[in-house]
Structure 1
């Protein structure tokens, strides 16, 4: 796809060429994809990597640190493997060829870290793997007054208190099954907002702690898709393993999810500075 160049003149009378986002190839501007070779089933790991990569503050601070500035976890080290992938993504983003990056080193590091688990093994089903990850962050809305500690056993609602607002806020959506009806998917999508105020959810925060949606993980048919918002070009982009595709505005993302039966699983919000 050819790039359309618009010419402007700055205060010094110099002609400035700007790339028009509508006419830019996504693979040329919006970053690189991740490899998922036949039989590897890397899609669940790929969306996790892309999720972390597109959290700008995490990415910048993580890459700013040396690989020697942390305690090594596992052999090979999980942190080092992720650092190498981030470095490769950074280099690929600067390279016009946009070669997809292999996540293999991280998968090997994770599988070696948990040798007795099928969690990160090569033929592991993407659906069950990501569901295990979601279980790690799942929290009940009610907690019983502990009878073992002399409590009455009554269920009490949990009150969440934050002493300071986080930079990133994550929402995990729970679905009844992995193949919901179009009507249920559409109803859920229509309730999603691209901007939220978390002070209505947590005590201890000043009003109007605004957060903007920056990325979404979706699932359909034992495969995961990832959507991220490009602040530079004000466009949503889809990352489907090695494929990088410009989608457009948020309404275009919703339309694609409805037509493709894509169920949003995880939503990442960043604080509005």
Structure 2
């Protein structure tokens, strides 16, 4: 399973040649996160590293202090503590125990994210964002949050409505979207087979094909036919997340899907229609990936100040290289496959 993290291109500024733009305020140092034997914290460490390397998220979280604190179960405090250590500590690898304990305490009734047990990095990422929302806006439902202080919805949320030729199903606001299963990935494969060569702007088209397959509703006139839903984007999110899920640890589609990833994504190609003018114009740039193989999570993140991609394997941190966008996916794919075979 791979997570792809993208962010909206700023109007000005660049960090160097060939890489996606970012903030020159990014911290130069990168640190690993410890995962001692029996802790099984790689899923959490990977999610935290991607969140830390997202400049817009890190800066926004740093500016916040007032929140509804839950003591030992406060995920907001625990994440702020790790971010502070990233900035101030001289250690090359730091413990993530505080956040691990806060997650375990928060979800003990559901028996999720418990100490010593392996869990899912994508669900960890989503639940960290959801809990931050609740710590900041405790009386607001997640799908109706318009609070300016809620960085979960201000940075991640997509406002969508679903329509078909006869009616509008309703408006939804979601921080995380686009999870595709094996049947959807087969649809991507069929699209690729019909294409002579992979275009640089084709990634959004492939995702739209995968995300809409089988998404049907019964016709409201009760004629017995099924109608395909069309999704319309109404806002311009700063950060977009995409998840690929396979139904087995080993998949013959893995390499093909990774090769089809594009370092750029335009929201207009991802939806049936986009109504926000800024969203129509903005390109998204790939800035992070969480990868899963052999019961272990790894992360890649773009470090904006050095214009380099960095590989995170718990306490191990390695620079990938200073790379152009066109060679980015090939290099990450090569490194990832090498790790899986080692």
Aligned to 1:239: 312
Residue in structure 1 matched with residue 22 of structure 2 by the alignment? none
Match of 1:180 in 2: 251
Query: Is 1:119 aligned with 2:128?
Result: no
- Mapped partners of 1:43, 1:153: distance in 2: 48
SS of the aligned residue for 1:228 comes to strand
For these two proteins, the number of residue pairs brought into alignment is 223
Partner of 2:80: helix, strand, or coil?
Answer: helix
Is residue 109 of structure 1 aligned with residue 102 of structure 2? Answer: yes
CA contact (8 A) 1:30 1:230 kept: no
1:77-156 to structure 2, matched below 5 A, reads 77-92=74-89, 95=90, 98-126=91-119, 129-130=120-121, 132-133=123-124, 138=179, 141=212, 142-145=215-218, 154-156=225-227
Uncovered stretches (5+) of structure 2, i.e. residues with no partner: 1-26, 127-175, 181-210
Checking the alignment, whether the CA contact within 8 Å between 2:121 and 2:297 is kept in structure 1 is: no
Q: How does 1:214-229 map to 2 (within 5 A)?
A: 214-229=287-302
Q: Could you tell me how far apart the structure 2 residues matched to 1:229 and 1:124 are?
A: 29
2:269 matched residue in structure 1: 200
Tell which has more relative contact order, 1 or 2 (C-alpha 8 A, sep 6+). Answer: 2
Residues 120-167 of structure 1 deviation map (CA, whole Å, 9 limit, x = unaligned): 1123224xx3365589854863143498xx866754333222222110
Q: Is the 8 A contact 1:53 1:86 kept in 2?
A: yes
The question of whether the paired residues in 1 share the 8 Å contact of 2:28 and 2:306 is answered with no
2: CA distance, partners of 1:220 / 1:243 = 16
Match of 2:259 in 1: 190
Does the alignment pair 1:258 with 2:257? Answer: no
How far does residue 71 in structure 1 lie from its aligned partner after superposition? 1.7
**Residues of 2 paired with 1:134 and 1:231: CA distance?**
21
Distance 2:219 2:41 in 1: 41
Unaligned runs of 5+ in 1: 1-27, 263-273
| Superposed counterparts of 1:10-21, under 5 Å | none
Q: Name the CA distance, whole Å, in 2 between partners of 1:50 and 1:254.
A: 19
Q: TM-score, normalised by structure 1?
A: 0.72
Distance 1:255 1:73, change over 3 A: same
- Is the CA contact (8 Å cut-off) linking 2:31 and 2:92 kept in structure 1? yes
1:212 aligns with 2:285: yes
1:76 aligns with 2:73: yes
Change (3 A) 1:134 1:232: closer
The residue number in structure 2 matching 1:3 is none
Equivalent-residue separation in structure 2 for 1:112 and 1:146 (angstroms):
45
Q: Against the structure 1 CA distance between its residues 134 and 176, is the aligned structure 2 distance closer, same or farther, given a 3 Å change threshold?
A: farther
**Structure 1 155/90 Cα, relative in aligned 2: closer, same or farther at 3 Å?**
farther
Match of 1:39 in 2: 38
